Amino acid sequence: MSTVQEMAAAIPDGALLALPPDYSLVAMEIVRALIRRKAKGLRLLGVPILGMSADLLIGAGCVAEVETSAVSLGEAGLAPRFTEAAEKNLIRVKDATCPAVHAGLQASEKGVSFMPVPGIGGSDLVRERKDWVRQGEIVLVPAIKPDFALFHARWADEAGNVWVGRRRELATAAHASKSCLVSFEEGRAGDMLEDEVLAPGVVSNIYVTATAHAPRGAWPCGLPGVYGADDLHLSQYAKAAKTREGFQRYLDEWVLTPRKSSSPA
């Protein structure tokens, strides 16, 4: 077992990180630790879209590039730090589409160089993505192999397995990536792979590089079955982050200041 600080220290500048969207299992404590360690030049892959975790990293100056289908704060609106960075060309944006992201990860998971994706051959994206090969309505998407998959899990067991439930795209990201770092909410005794009910939602320890106990580690995003998203906090962040000054105040209060608990409660 590791700590979120040790995980952040293990991620080198310039690494390609596979991150889930806000509605999935977001490792927000590790993201905050990355900002505190002043990471630079990170490349973010949305699996398949990005949210607050990416907006925080971008606003803090940690990011050089994003590849994603979208960056959004959901009901809270646009991701303001991403929007400004993209408009001012402060980061490189590689537009993608959800099926292409999933296919690229699946190609890496299966050990093949590309995956065919039907139905997007007529998209404007094909003209922009020179690494995609169009063959009629089918596009050959090259394998995507992140340096790290990064997410939060409800459980990690004594064997080093983690449980993601129905978020199977996170299992694919773990299989496709060179390393997988997982913060978790609760520990479990034994081996979840031996449990017929839990096993289908487990990512095997074969694919998990390290785990770190981080209670409420997804906050202010939610953890299904444990706590919901803090919609008030997310909306307050969206409002504050519209300006560089407001974003810096948010960082000072909620990220750079050590806290015993991430929750405002």
Residue 7 has pLDDT above 50, yes or no: yes
pLDDT at 122: 87
Average pLDDT of every residue of the chain: 95
Confidence class for position 261, pLDDT limits 50, 70, 90 = very low
CA dist., res. 149 & res. 151, Å (int) = 7
Mean pLDDT on 30-46: 98
Mean pLDDT on 232-239: 97
Residue 264 has pLDDT above 90, yes or no: no
Which pairs from 120-125 meet CB under 8 Å and 24+ separation? 123/97, 125/95, 125/96, 125/97, 125/100
pLDDT at 17: 98
pLDDT tens-digit profile of 46-95? Answer: 999 999 999 999 999 999 999 999 999 999 999 999 999 999 999 999 99
CA dist., res. 79 & res. 92, Å (int) = 16
Q: Write down all domains in the chain, each with its CATH number in brackets.
A: 4-251 (3.40.1080.10)
Residue 260 has pLDDT above 60, yes or no: no
Model pTM score: 0.94
pLDDT at 70: 96
**Cβ neighbour number for residue 146 with a 10 Å cutoff:** 26
Mean pLDDT on 99-105: 97
Contact 96, 69 (CB under 8 A): yes
pLDDT at 1: 75
Residue 12 has pLDDT above 50, yes or no: yes
pLDDT tens-digit profile of 157-201? Answer: 999 999 999 999 999 999 999 999 999 999 999 999 999 999 999
119/263: higher pLDDT: 119
Mean pLDDT on 126-137: 92
CA dist., res. 93 & res. 70, Å (int) = 10
Mean pLDDT on 243-261: 87
DSSP state of 71: B
Confidence class for position 263, pLDDT limits 50, 70, 90 = very low
Mean pLDDT on 7-21: 98
